[in-house]
């Protein structure tokens, strides 16, 4: 893999992210910005084991680090630095309401929705819920950042099990 190219792509993503986020934050007069994606806080984002960045390519469920293989025929993804996103939001007047993983977020929503939503789910729905909630599947892989403007008293059920944000 060309690490120079990977660094350039990673830097390009990082350079454009704040501009896009600034437009979203500036357009919001009152409400929430909910960001759900692969990612982590800065401490993990810049950890030694990520020295080559977080850029990954996927083709038929196989991971690769080379974005020039199968151009147009593979998905390319990179993790979100949620600390940077929270800090960028703060510079535009957004307050972080909570940060958690998808499993905890959805558990809070499901608890609020109550029994009828979960009453006798079929095998397909059960498998889908397991994939979304289980910590070894997607439950911890995806993170949820909720920021707000003008909603200081809001208590969102999806954040019921969130830990206190460190940013």
pLDDT tens-place string over residues 10-63:
444 555 566 677 888 889 999 999 999 888 899 988 999 988 888 889 999 888
Q: What is the pLDDT of residue 38?
A: 86
Interval 139-143 mean pLDDT: 79
Has residue 73 been placed in a domain?
yes
Q: What is the pLDDT of residue 60?
A: 92
Res 122 pLDDT > 80: no
Separation CA 161–CA 158 (nearest Å)? 7
Has residue 75 been placed in a domain?
yes
Has residue 93 been placed in a domain?
yes
Has residue 34 been placed in a domain?
yes
Do residues 38 and 142 make contact, with C-beta atoms less than 8 angstroms apart? yes
Q: What is the pLDDT of residue 1?
A: 46
Has residue 164 been placed in a domain?
no
Has residue 136 been placed in a domain?
no
Do residues 55 and 2 make contact, with C-beta atoms less than 8 angstroms apart? no
Has residue 77 been placed in a domain?
yes
Has residue 106 been placed in a domain?
no
Domain count, the chain: 1
* Residue 56 lies in domain: 3-101+143-159
């Amino acid at each position: 893999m060309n690490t120079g190219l990977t660094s350039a792509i990673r830097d390009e993503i990082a350079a454009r992210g704040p501009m896009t986020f600034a437009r979203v934050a500036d357009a919001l007069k009152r409400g929430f910005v909910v960001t759900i994606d692969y990612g982590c806080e800065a401490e993990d984002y810049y950890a030694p084991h990520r020295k080559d960045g977080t850029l990954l390519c996927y083709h038929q469920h196989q991971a690769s680090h080379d974005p020039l293989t199968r151009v147009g025929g593979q998905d390319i993804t990179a993790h979100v630095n949620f600390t940077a996103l929270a800090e960028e939001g703060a510079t535009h007047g957004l307050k972080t309401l909570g940060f958690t993983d998808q499993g905890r977020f959805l558990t809070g929503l499901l608890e609020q929705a109550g029994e009828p939503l979960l009453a006798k789910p079929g095998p397909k729905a059960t498998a889908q819920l397991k994939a979304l909630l289980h910590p070894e599947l997607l439950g911890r892989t995806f993170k949820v950042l909720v920021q707000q403007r003008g909603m200081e008293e809001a208590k969102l059920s999806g954040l019921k099990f969130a830990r206190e944000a460190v940013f």
